[in-house]
Amino acid sequence: MSEYRLPSEQACVSAKSVVSVGDYAMYASPDGLVGVQRNEVHVLTKGLLDKQSWTEMNPDTICGVAHEGDQRPHCK
């Protein structure tokens, strides 16, 4: 695994929201749920939720959990 700068300015608003799902990493940003694969960054909820609706969901409290990959929840 290596570290590199993402080609996007999508900040993470909840460290607990970061989860690895197969080839993707996902996390909550101020603009929606973000998916990162290699050097591609996509706001996955774009077109599904407007910014106000996303903000009302309190993204800073989101806990990311993978189910089928059997990653154990780390949120409390």
Residue 76 banded pLDDT, cuts 50, 70, 90: low
Q: What is the pLDDT of residues 24-45, one digit of tens each?
A: 899 999 999 999 988 889 999 9
Burial class (CB in 10 A: 0-12, 13-18, 19+), 56: exposed
Using one digit for the tens of pLDDT, what is the confidence trace for 55-75? 999 999 999 887 765 555 556
For residue 2, the model assigns a pLDDT of 64
